[in-house]
Amino acid sequence: MKIIAYNVRDDEIPFIKAWGEHNEVEVDYSIDTLNSETLKQAQGYDGISCLQTIPYDEELFAEMKKMGITMLSLRNVGLDNVDLVAAKKYGIVVTNVPDYSPASIAEFAVTLALAVNRKVGYMYYQLHELGEFHFSADFMGKLISNQTVGVVGTGRIGKEAIRMFTGLGAKVIAYSKSHLTDSELNFTYVDNLEDVMDQADIIDLHIPGVPENEHLFDEAAFKRMKSSAILINTARGSIVDTTALIAALERGEIAGAGIDTLEDESADLQNSRSTAQVTDHNVLALSKMPNVIVTPHSAFHTDEAVMNMVNISFNNLMQKLIGSEVNNLAK
């Protein structure tokens, strides 16, 4: 049995080696992203593990079939960049890791909310851009405990975010198509997304990047939100119209944002070895705003999350290769 992992970061390597040694399975890895060209590196392997935000397209799955590789095991949750129809067409089993560490992402969302809310970006700007270092009236923030947080999506991550925000004393409302049952958490569901926009001081997104959620937060949404509101997105970039977000921030229609995911993320974004200079005009525009914190899709990144992503992805592969029932099949 031989497994190859693509787009491997340095921080994943110890966990990959440990899994291979523990399970007595030959595991190799590549720093390249996976596409129909780099797939050639997988010749002679039985299964592939991968983590990337760029597409897994029909051409890739067609080539996998030709090579006799029948499984792609993702090391992440999101399936929005996977052509599952094509995978099924070519007989490729796809799995993901639906629950590697919801608390890691939720904690980062809360971190962004606290940092933007307490004007950390303004302090950073004063020191690093102006070369000054002193108290300023611009630094006045608000207590989270005096605010209403609107959590959009109450799955595993959203549930953890609710737990953390209520722990800080915030009033929490939530909107989700599916509701938590028998929850001990102290929050209230609202009937629609507009209620969140109308009421929330902080809006925290935890929904998938499926087509129906594309640009849920657009020009009209930003005009509807409170002018004092903050938007936090650690979910998927496609949920937010980035051009409209920048315009709303420039016009003062909302007060700030914490953005960990952006539309049209490049392969280079997930390349931990990259030294390329930033050229994306949206990233540059957001980075220059003191009321915005923009980060490179890193909310998940804790030691616990990385270990679980590797182990669960490889366990999924091994189940398929030894003929056992496969967990975490993509749907």
pLDDT digits (tens, 9 = 90+) for 90-127: 999 999 999 999 999 999 999 999 999 999 999 999 99
Q: What is the 3-state secondary structure (H, E, C) of 76-92?
A: CCCCCCECHHHHHHCCC
Taking only the tens place, the pLDDT of each residue in 139-164 is 999 999 999 999 999 999 999 999 99
Q: What percent of the chain has pLDDT over 70?
A: 100
Topology (CATH) of 102-294: Rossmann fold (3.40.50)
The pLDDT of residue 265 is 85
Taking only the tens place, the pLDDT of each residue in 2-14 is 999 999 999 999 9
Instruction: Determine the distance from the C-alpha atom of residue 29 to the mean position of all C-alpha atoms in its chain, rounded to a whole number.
Output: 23
Q: Which letter does DSSP use for residue 260 in this model?
A: S
The pLDDT of residue 273 is 80
Query: Residue 182 — pLDDT band, cuts 50, 70, 90?
Result: confident
Same fold, 2-100+302-321 and 102-294: yes
- H helix or E strand, kind and range, residue 293: strand 292-294
Contacts of 64 (CB under 8 A, 6+ apart): 39, 42, 48, 70, 72, 90, 92
Taking the C-alpha atoms of residue 201 and residue 226, their distance in angstroms, rounded to an integer, is: 7
Taking the C-alpha atoms of residue 262 and residue 219, their distance in angstroms, rounded to an integer, is: 16
Which residues are known catalytic residues?
A: 236, 265, 297
pLDDT above 80: residue 267: no
Closest CA to 310 of 51, 114, 70, 90: 51
Query: Residue 271 — pLDDT band, cuts 50, 70, 90?
Result: confident
Bridge partners (DSSP) listed for residue 258: 232, 293
Q: Phi, psi (5° rounding) for residue 283?
A: -60, -45
Question: CA distances (Å), 249 to each of 42, 69, 240, 254, 297, in order?
Answer: 46, 47, 13, 6, 21
Mean pLDDT along residues 252-272? 89
The pLDDT of residue 92 is 97
Domain locations along the chain: 2-100+302-321, 102-294
Taking only the tens place, the pLDDT of each residue in 193-211 is 999 999 999 999 999 999 9
pLDDT above 80: residue 305: yes
Average per-residue pLDDT for the chain: 96
CB 117 within 8 A of CB 307: no
The pLDDT of residue 72 is 98
Taking the C-alpha atoms of residue 177 and residue 69, their distance in angstroms, rounded to an integer, is: 37
- H helix or E strand, kind and range, residue 304: helix 303-321
CATH architecture label of 2-100+302-321? 3-Layer(aba) Sandwich (3.40)
The pLDDT of residue 132 is 96
Mean pLDDT along residues 245-259? 98
pTM of the model: 0.91
Q: What percent of the chain has pLDDT over 90?
A: 92
The pLDDT of residue 185 is 96
Taking only the tens place, the pLDDT of each residue in 44-56 is 999 999 999 889 9
Contacts of 162 (CB under 8 A, 6+ apart): 151, 154, 172, 174, 185, 187
